[in-house]
Chain A
């Protein structure tokens, strides 16, 4: 027996982001926008005022508590702390060679950027592209990451003042990877940084993009510098185009990092993502890929390392709307102390999407008894001639392997490093660009030592 719910609205307490109205007002005053953008900001502001921060009853945020964020207060940012080339070099790969777009506290800094002329490549400040009346921006912005996708996409839409715009013209093959570095400084402490990115890879083009998020206020263990980095990236991969998209999150361990990447792919395109999450007290990344035409290939690889009280959450959604598409997804995590990992992988196969080949894997290695993982595959399949599989594991270091190593003289710290390296290498080797692969292998190797007690 169930009782019919009474038809009266249940009063719920909307948890808001303290300081949000002031931040939104400040952005309106400081960064004037064309009418279409001003309208979006208004929509975003009222949408967020209506929904507030998600709570634990929200299925998408069931395991990821935002209590800490709701308790914090945010104010408009101060001027960024001084950042020079030596500050940013460690966060870049081939810092003296590859082109780069550097943003400091959410705004492009042209003195730190290196934007050589590359035939067929247009990139730079998103604010400049908007100010210059670039029609592509108006056409594409908020399409793959809608204002109202969730509370945080609305916050971003209301608060972004700059970001990155990239367009690779049809048929252009860009050989050097394009790096977009987001540096957050102590100027953003107790504030919100909300950059937005629009990446357009036109038909037949090919590129590699590295997005890095880093804190420039000292090392990993830098004191309390709470800030919210709320970032949206909109990615359009045209017919026959190819994009390798690397995302490296190295925010301060006192920061909240919430990101949403929306991808839409046209026929015969290839999108390959690698998502690395290292920093943040709370790190959440949504990656939604829409396979919007037949013969699309989508590869999503992810790796997360967590220690202390870190919470690292990855939500992915793959929309198979058309026939003959493949998606392949592998996320791996290594967690110690009281760290908490969350993985939710949704694959939606529509009736028209026959001959879909989709595989999803999430594997977790727990190095302590108090680390924890909530992993949830969600396959929603409405077509009958498909191959869709998923698998999730949560385990400790293998005792047989440990003994085998000990009989070969390898024990303790060294044995753990070897076995954890082996575990993470399965996804790291999937980075196609060799120089990026080796740089991230090195980065992960260094971080891994911090996890071994």
Chain B
């Protein structure tokens, strides 16, 4: 059984239908790329999977690890192992990265009936994970994303992912606006976290990220539908020919 099974998913924002029947199946251990032009519904798909209240699912189903994801609150999805790396990570002045990460980590453990990690043990874990994104410990005393550069914000999302070790990571345009060094670090983080029991959905506009993270499958989204699916070579075709030949 697939880890993530999306069937005929329709979603609206207000009166506007954005997703118009998406079906997608992602197995554990796989990386799928969702590509497509601006306005195709890529980010909406990511937000719907994470449970953003601004979107209403009008038809279809999303099953994660055999459970009905649409029946779960956003935080319950996080507890179950779903992680969204935001396209625009939110700033939280007044909350340090260290406190935020530990609260998140422990909230998820608590929801799973596990014992919370004390600050000392958590620090050990954090030190290892910081290496994944090539950061020193000083970042932990800064407020969450507050005053971070665009690249730092994206890197911080990857750090959170590295700490939380989700079973399904959805990366919403994590590559946009990154210079080549930041892109390399982000890719390194994603690759380091690839595991046989987890899956990654990469939402991206450009093929560039796929030079560093090799996907098992590529799907092209246009007008709220998947118009083409293929292997990693599809990304190269898109790079060479653009989206027009698919979207008309």
| A residues with CB within 8 A of B | 400-401, 403-412, 414, 418-419, 421-426
Q: How far is the CA of A405 from the CA of B164 in the complex (A)?
A: 13
A408 contacts B107, CB within 8 Å?
yes
User: Residue B51 contacts which of A404, A407, A410, A412 (CB distance < 8 angstroms)?
Assistant: A407
B51 contacts A409, CB within 8 Å?
no
A410 contacts B103, CB within 8 Å?
yes
A404 contacts B86, CB within 8 Å?
yes
B94 contacts A409, CB within 8 Å?
no
Given contacts A406-B78, A408-B78, A411-B75, contact A421 B95 (CB under 8 A): yes
Q: Does B84 contact A (CB under 8 A)?
A: yes
B160 contacts A408, CB within 8 Å?
yes
B95 contacts A406, CB within 8 Å?
no
B177: chain A residues at CB < 8 Å are: none
A410 contacts B90, CB within 8 Å?
no
| B residues with CB within 8 A of A | 50-53, 73-75, 77-79, 83-84, 86, 89-90, 92-95, 100, 103-104, 107-108, 111, 143, 160, 164
B52: chain A residues at CB < 8 Å are: 403
- What are some 21 contacts across the A-B interface (CB < 8 A)? A401-B92, A403-B52, A403-B74, A403-B90, A404-B90, A404-B92, A407-B50, A407-B74, A407-B83, A407-B86, A408-B78, A408-B107, A410-B104, A411-B75, A414-B107, A418-B95, A421-B94, A422-B92, A423-B94, A426-B93, A426-B94
B89: chain A residues at CB < 8 Å are: 404
Of listed A407, A412, A418, A419, residue having the most chain B CB within 10 A: A407
User: Residue B95 contacts which of A407, A409, A412, A422 (CB distance < 8 angstroms)?
Assistant: A422
A407: chain B residues at CB < 8 Å are: 50-51, 74-75, 77-78, 83-84, 86
Nearest Cβ on chain A to B77's Cβ, whole angstroms: 8
B51 contacts A406, CB within 8 Å?
yes
Q: How far is the CA of A424 from the CA of B94 in the complex (A)?
A: 8
B53: chain A residues at CB < 8 Å are: 403
B107 contacts A410, CB within 8 Å?
yes
A410: chain B residues at CB < 8 Å are: 75, 103-104, 107
Nearest Cβ on chain A to B164's Cβ, whole angstroms: 7
A422: chain B residues at CB < 8 Å are: 92-95, 143
Q: How far is the CA of A406 from the CA of B107 in the complex (A)?
A: 10
A411: chain B residues at CB < 8 Å are: 73-75, 107
Of listed B50, B75, B103, B108, residue having the most chain A CB within 10 A: B75
A425: chain B residues at CB < 8 Å are: 94
B94: chain A residues at CB < 8 Å are: 421-426
When C-beta atoms are compared, the residue in chain A nearest to B86 turns out to be A404
Q: How far is the CA of A404 from the CA of B78 in the complex (A)?
A: 11
- 7 smallest CB-CB distances across A and B, nearest first, come from A422-B94, A411-B75, A409-B78, A406-B74, A408-B104, A404-B90, A409-B107
Given contacts A403-B52, A403-B53, A414-B107, contact A409 B92 (CB under 8 A): no
Q: How far is the CA of A411 from the CA of B103 in the complex (A)?
A: 11
Nearest Cβ on chain A to B39's Cβ, whole angstroms: 21
B90 contacts A401, CB within 8 Å?
yes
A405: chain B residues at CB < 8 Å are: 92, 104
A414 contacts B51, CB within 8 Å?
no
Q: How far is the CA of A375 from the CA of B143 in the complex (A)?
A: 28
User: Residue A406 contacts which of B75, B86, B92 (CB distance < 8 angstroms)?
Assistant: B75
A406: chain B residues at CB < 8 Å are: 51, 73-75, 78
Further 7 A-B residue pairs, CB within 8 A, beyond A406-B78, A410-B107: A400-B90, A403-B53, A403-B74, A410-B104, A414-B107, A422-B93, A425-B94
Given contacts A401-B90, A403-B74, contact A408 B50 (CB under 8 A): no
Q: How far is the CA of A412 from the CA of B160 in the complex (A)?
A: 20
Q: How far is the CA of A154 from the CA of B83 in the complex (A)?
A: 62
A412: chain B residues at CB < 8 Å are: 75
A409 contacts B93, CB within 8 Å?
no
Q: How far is the CA of A412 from the CA of B50 in the complex (A)?
A: 17
A409 contacts B111, CB within 8 Å?
yes
